């Protein structure tokens, strides 16, 4: 809607301090009621470099952007006034351009007000909801319209608003686009926010489609690890140390809250995947960062894996039963030869009417099992091939300090093999997991 300036002045009490709810890099924000709906009005500063025709056309285009994670632009005001002002001791008429953008009002404030470290603040489901929604909104800006890619260029927690249900809403993407040339990848005029701008922009003023990915990576790290999260990530000796540190802290918090069902397993999996993804987003070389489309695809895969884990934990059993028959049952034997890979076989038999998940491990790294995890359908058999990698020294006869572990549990359905290892790694106390231990014997 084209809202008249006198109407905006009326509902903001002539832009009074009482109605002002914020101030940003592009203008001051006021709250008011328009036609029975609470709206937020951003009165833009007088900024050079914005062409009047370009401004009008751009915001007509932005009004067409519709997504649940993108701020809804209700209307705008564009008026030119002539006022008497004093200049060099004389009264002259000056042309004053008033630009006001009107948006839906978000009761939850900004994400910047909600960020805290792992030990307090929002629980993990709320944080994950914000991460997923922010990425989906940004993906819509980048890819929602095939011939009109919108890059935010100033993505930060202050520009992510929250509704009463903690749904993230991306705001302030229009002004960034107006101030950055769409015809060149080099700019000298854009004013972003330090800490969220990628290295290639700081060093060379180069804008790529990975610009916003860097910003969203910093935001995800702060959502998971707190305001100092990105600083800690940069200061640690390696990204893997940072990932492990964050994951361990979250495991402690989640364990303290609940480990009575599969919620603990699902949430710890999501924490690890999200922090790993965020670290990839802040790679110094933009070529090593994923696109925002790839980020959303990975989060969708995570959603599917969490759903599988949830279904896997729905059926529990009160008594331990041997789920798999393991043959051989006493020991696993290898006919040993020096400097040669040696293979032997094992048979797993499922005599139940459920799918059985299994996971195979040894206490030494010199063995390979194929497959090492998976599921076995009801009343079925599976053969496992074990390989002892070539050894340069001959062990004592009947050596049996190495051990083989076969873990198994019943499933209500087949979840697929790709998350079985993670499932066993974080097995829930409510689940029954059988474990068979076999000594590994060399026959020399």
The confidence score (pLDDT) of residue 61 equals: 64
Band (pLDDT 50/70/90 cuts) for residue 183 is very low
Active site residues: 154
**126 vs 433, higher pLDDT:** 126
What is d(CA 401, CA 439) in angstroms, rounded to the nearest whole number? Answer: 7
The confidence score (pLDDT) of residue 130 equals: 97
- Cβ 61 vs Cβ 182: under 8 Å: no
Helix spans in 402-442 (H): 420-425
Q: What is the pLDDT of residues 395-425, one digit of tens each?
A: 765 566 789 999 888 876 666 655 666 666 6
Q: Is 269 helix (H, G, I), strand (E, B) or coil?
A: helix
The confidence score (pLDDT) of residue 382 equals: 93
What is d(CA 292, CA 216) in angstroms, rounded to the nearest whole number? Answer: 9
The confidence score (pLDDT) of residue 424 equals: 67
Check pLDDT > 70 for residue 308. yes
Mean pLDDT value across the chain: 83
DSSP bridge pairs for 325? 349
% of the chain beyond a pLDDT of 70: 83
Go through the domains of the chain in sequence order and give each one's CATH number: 5-104 (3.30.200.20), 111-312 (1.10.510.10), 324-443 (2.60.40.10)
DSSP classification of residue 206: B
DSSP bridge pairs for 436? 406
Of 99-103, 173-177, 186-190, 305-309, which range is least confident? 186-190
DSSP classification of residue 19: G
The confidence score (pLDDT) of residue 23 equals: 81
The confidence score (pLDDT) of residue 319 equals: 46
Q: What is the pLDDT of residues 51-86, one digit of tens each?
A: 666 666 667 667 778 899 999 888 888 888 877 777
E strands, 52-89, are: 73-87
The confidence score (pLDDT) of residue 295 equals: 97
């Amino acid at each position: 809607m084209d809202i008249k300036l006198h109407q905006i002045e009326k509902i903001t009490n002539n832009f009074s301090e009482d109605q002002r709810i914020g101030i940003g890099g592009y203008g001051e924000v006021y709250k008011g009621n328009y036609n029975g709906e609470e709206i937020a009005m951003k009165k833009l500063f007088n900024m050079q470099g914005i062409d009047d025709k370009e401004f009008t056309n751009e915001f007509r285009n932005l009004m067409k952007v519709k997504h649940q994670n993108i701020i809804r632009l209700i209307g705008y005001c564009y008026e030119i006034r002539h006022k008497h002002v004093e200049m060099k001791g004389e009264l002259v008429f000056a042309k004053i351009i008033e630009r006001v953008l009107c948006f839906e009002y978000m009761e939850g404030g900004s994400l910047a007000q909600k960020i805290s470290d792992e030990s307090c603040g929002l629980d993990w489901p709320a944080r994950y909801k914000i991460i997923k929604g922010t990425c989906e909104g940004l993906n819509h800006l980048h890819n929602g319209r095939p011939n009109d890619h919108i890059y935010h260029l100033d993505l930060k927690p202050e520009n992510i608003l929250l509704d009463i249900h903690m749904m993230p809403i991306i705001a302030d993407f229009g002004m960034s686009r107006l101030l950055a040339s769409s015809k060149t990848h080099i700019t000298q005029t854009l004013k972003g926010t330090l800490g969220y701008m990628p290295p290639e922009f700081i060093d060379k003023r180069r804008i790529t489609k990975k610009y916003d990915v860097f910003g969203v990576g910093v935001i995800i790290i702060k959502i998971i690890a707190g305001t100092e999260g990105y600083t800690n990530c940069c200061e640690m000796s390696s990204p893997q140390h940072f990932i492990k540190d964050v994951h361990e802290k979250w495991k402690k918090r989640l364990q303290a809250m609940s480990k009575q069902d599969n919620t603990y397993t699902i949430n710890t999996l999501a924490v690890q995947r999200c922090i790993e993804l965020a670290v990839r987003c802040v790679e110094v070389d933009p070529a090593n960062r994923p696109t925002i489309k790839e980020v959303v695809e990975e989060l969708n895969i995570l959603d599917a894996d969490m759903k599988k884990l949830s279904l896997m934990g729905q059926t529990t059993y009160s008594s331990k039963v041997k789920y798999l028959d393991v043959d051989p049952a006493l020991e696993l034997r290898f006919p040993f030869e020096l400097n040669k890979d040696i293979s032997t076989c094992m048979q797993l038999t499922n005599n139940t009417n459920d799918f059985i998940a299994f996971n195979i491990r040894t206490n030494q790294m010199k063995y390979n099992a194929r497959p090492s995890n998976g599921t076995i359908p009801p009343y079925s058999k599976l053969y496992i091939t074990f390989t002892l990698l070539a050894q340069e020294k001959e062990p004592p006869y009947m050596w049996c300090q190495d051990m083989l572990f076969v873990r198994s549990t019943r499933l209500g359905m087949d979840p697929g093999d790709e998350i079985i290892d993670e499932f066993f790694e974080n097995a829930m106390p409510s689940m029954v997991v059988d474990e068979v231990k076999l000594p590994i014997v060399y026959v020399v």
